Amino acid sequence: MAVTAREILSGDVRAAAQLMRDLDDEIPSAIRTLKSLYRNTGRAHIIGVTGAPGVGKSTLVTRIVSVLRERGKTVGIVAIDPTSPYTGGAILGDRIRMQEHALDECVFIRSLATRGHLGGLSRSTIDIVNVMDAMGKDVILIETVGVGQDEVEIVKVAHTNLVVMVPGLGDDIQAIKAGILEIADIFVINKSDRDGADRTVREIETMIAMGDYAEGEWVPPVLSTVASTGAGIPPLYEEVKRHRAHVSQDRNMERYRREKARVELLEILKARLIEKAVADLERHGLLDPLLSEMAGKRTDPYTISEKVVDHRFEMHLLQGRPNRARARGRGRR
C-alpha cells in the first residue's frame, strides 16, 4: 500500500517509517509522495550535531531531546552512521542509547545506514529530514561525524550547527578546529569535567576572536557540557534558541533557504544521475565487461565516463548493436 501525503501530514509514525523504507527501496510511489510533501517542508528547526566518534554526540542529543520534550516540542532524530554500510551493528548501538526516547511517540528516531546505495548518505538524509519536517516535527536533529565530504554538505541543510569536541585531543586537532570553524554556529566542549577543558575552551575562543566577523554576523559561542550528567545543557539550549532567532531574520533566512535548496538539488541530482547511469549499463550487460576491460587496462574509467556522459553508449544501444567490443573502441588486441 502506497503511503499518502495526507498520512504523513497527519504525523502518522507508522506511515512515515513505511515511506522511509519505500524511499530506501526507491519505490516510485514513495518518490511521488515525497514530491508532493516538499511544499510542506521548511517549518522545522533543523539542528546539526557534528563531532568525532567518542565525543558523546548521542548522549548530548538525548539530553537536548529531553529539554525539548519538557517544553512540549516534537522531535525527529536522524543519526548518520558511516560505519553501518559494513555491519549494521552500530545502528543497534544508537537505538539502545536513544531508548530513553524510543518509547515516546513524539520522538521519531531514524538511524541511517547507506547499505551501499550509490546515491549515498546525503540523498537519504535529505529525504528523511523532509519527511520528518512534513510530519510536523518542531525540531529535527541530525547527528553526524561530519568529517567526510558528504557529511560536510549535509550539515548545510541545518539551521543551527553544533560542533562537539572533547578536551585534550592534542595538537593534531588544531587543523580540524580551523576547518570546522566555518560550519560551527555553536561550539560544545563535552566531557568538560576532564583535564584540559579550560584550555580547549580558551583555544577555541582565541580562534574565534581572530575571526573576521561583520557587524550583525553571528559569532559562535563556546559552551561546556557534561552530557552524561546533564551539566551545561540548559545554557546550551538557550544558545540554540538565540541562534534560531538570529537565523529567522529575513536576510539570513533567505540566504539559508537558497543554500539549503542548492544542497538538496545537487545531492539528489547526483544520486539520480549515477543510479540511472549504472542501471542503464547493467541493464544492457555492459558494466561487468567494462570492469574486466579496465582491470586488464584495455580501457580506462575516463574514456568510459566520457562516453556515458555524452550518451554515446546510449546511442549505440538505440541503434540495436549490442556488440561490446565495438562500443568500447578497438583496444582489444
- Minimum distance from residue 236 beta carbon to a copy of itself (Å): 19
- The nearest distance, CB 207 to a copy of itself, in angstroms, is 10
Please say whether the beta carbons of 63 and 233 come within 8 A. yes
Q: Nearer Cβ to a copy of itself, position 24 or 242?
A: 24
User: Which has the closest alpha carbon to 33: 10, 8, 1, 13?
Assistant: 8
**CA dist., res. 190 & res. 52, Å (int):** 12
- Closest contact distance (angstroms) between CB of 111 and a copy of itself is 11
- In the complex, minimum distance from the CB of residue 31 to a copy of itself, in angstroms, rounded to a whole number: 6
CB nearer to a copy of itself: give 72 or 170. 170
Beta bridge partners of 47: 141, 160
Q: What H or E segment, with its residue span, contains residue 107?
A: strand 107-112
Pick 12 or 26: Cβ nearer a copy of itself: 26
CB of 105 to a copy of itself, least distance (A): 26
Pick the closer one to a copy of itself by CB: 106 or 147: 147
**Nearer of residues 234 and 278 to a copy of itself, judged by Cβ:** 278
Rounded distance, CA 127 to CA 19, Å?
Answer: 10
CB of 218 to a copy of itself, least distance (A): 16
Contact (CB, 8 A) for 15 and 8: yes
Q: Which neighbouring-strand residues pair with 76?
A: 108, 140
Q: How far is the CB of 281 from a copy of itself (least distance, A)?
A: 9
Q: Which residues contact 8 (CB under 8 A, 6 or more apart)?
A: 15, 16, 19, 33, 37, 131, 134, 135
Which CB atom, from 72 or from 302, has the smaller least distance to a copy of itself?
A: 302
Q: Judge contact between 231 and 62, C-beta under 8 A.
A: no
CA distance 128 to 19: 9
Nearer to a copy of itself, 106 or 253 (CB): 253
Nearer to a copy of itself, 234 or 301 (CB): 301
Nearer to a copy of itself, 76 or 167 (CB): 167
CA-to-CA distance for 102 and 110, rounded, in angstroms? 10
What are the b/e assignments for 2-24, b being 16+ CB within 10 Å?
ebbbebbeebbeebbebbbebbb
Q: How far is the CB of 198 from a copy of itself (least distance, A)?
A: 19
Question: CA 204 to CA 222: how far, in whole Å?
Answer: 7
In degrees and rounded to multiples of 5, residue 46 shows phi and psi of -100, 125
Strand partners, 161: 48
Torsional sign, CA 72, 251, 157, 154: negative
Q: Name the residue type at position 89.
A: G
In whole angstroms, the minimum distance from the beta carbon of 183 to a copy of itself comes to 7
